[in-house]
Structure 1
């Protein structure tokens, strides 16, 4: 068992007596004031998250773009310096290595942001396919990442910088801007379904920024948030979580992120043939939204039944704080994926009625 890691905010968590759990090898809080309260703060005002457990790789060299075009499903040639892109990496059979963000810093210089639990696996995978015209470095240990999310996120952060944040559009970023006097990379991205920003900085500067954001946001309803609210927020917005909606056995097409798979790009990326086959032959299964009709909460890995046989399983499920309903995402046979289809969820040995509904469950107004 490897030793648990901590983020630069560990001292803060000790000061406030936060209960910490292991997530991706890091000690992080599930909640600080309460999942529902934190969730609603982000939907109505703002919240700040410590996501320093995420991995950051830097790629540089003349062959960087060509290399990424081989490794990822999206078309990296479409982004220019100052722009970011969501994509996935696949195995040859179309299963997912990980989903990630790619930031184009300069023409031949990129930052890749990967999931915490996959840092070592992803780095090994990328290194094993690296060409001699690109250099890949893992800066995860020295980079902190904070996310300020919610309709008032811009209002809060604008107090801490002279840079016009309105000029940073969705999926764009600015490097070396000063936030509370600290140089950061600030991107208009997030994982909550709300407007927001993600702040990349040196690990030893994270606490300074965290405290400054809490102070700047105290009159807006901004509160610190844990992993629980991050999960319920991303779930309502139908944003996939690796190990749930995506995995080595679930392809990006099955997971519903086909928008990040460019089968028509020239580059022959790893998994392209398998994904083309899936699309041509038709998906045999897909991730759909589920609403419980009977009183029960669907949880991850609960079996889903129809016509007396198992047709899939829940990938994520919870009581939705925004909608007040018991909802789930489920990977089911495509023949049962139509809206309105009634299914049954096995909740601890009892079959509970549910129906397929449209997802995302929530979209910001």
Structure 2
């Protein structure tokens, strides 16, 4: 059977800790988790035919990445690669530049392709020579993928994702590689796993760190806050929204209810429109509070110019810290949510 888009990619479920060796079929294999756009690349089974690039949601996006389409001429026919779209900005990966590429239309497409060329990190293969391999164990798919890279001398913009079966080395990757913007953690696969389209059958572990932010608003009410909107002052003394917390636990709700103070006139976020997620259009009802409390939060590494893209986990109040003690907002503008 020849696979045609849309094909649902195999997904991962989040874990906080390394799973036991028996968690997945076969031996666990570890790869870096990239902070890009998941995509599938389809080459035609016969010439002439178009190269197709499908997003995770099934949308065809090859018109926005003509540089990758051009580079796909070196790929063999009848191939489907599963991987991550990335854009480098100097020595670091830039999610912001990738977003611009993914949203581009018309004339800017060619200019952006030249200025910020895309790269594709390949971590699985679904079809080779027009023969699908969904039921083939992962270790065999990986071996065939390595053969494709070696036989066709594939190089930039195509990269074979690093992989190890050494859990000690994987733990080192989790701590050291995630220091580089654009690498969030680990993806864990089972050597005997089939490719299960649409299923959360893989495991992902994001590196998480604790840091401090200022509580500037809450959802819910002052007496029963549900989540926190968190900020940091920039170098000009303006409080910038940098994160929203996950749902607060009951024990935290009662403690915070005794500490929060309704905002006075002149709050820096007066008139600011917040949304349910960064970049969403769905409005979020918030209650502004005096920005006088410092929260310790647990965050992952996915940031855009000092703003966390994923929700933070509230840990506790830092009653030993004043807002002025919190590290300054890094660089860039306020997120779309604020």
Is this a same-fold pair by TM over 0.5?
no
Which structure features the higher share of helix residues? 1
What is the TM-score with the length of structure 1 in the denominator? 0.29
What is the TM-score with the length of structure 2 in the denominator? 0.30
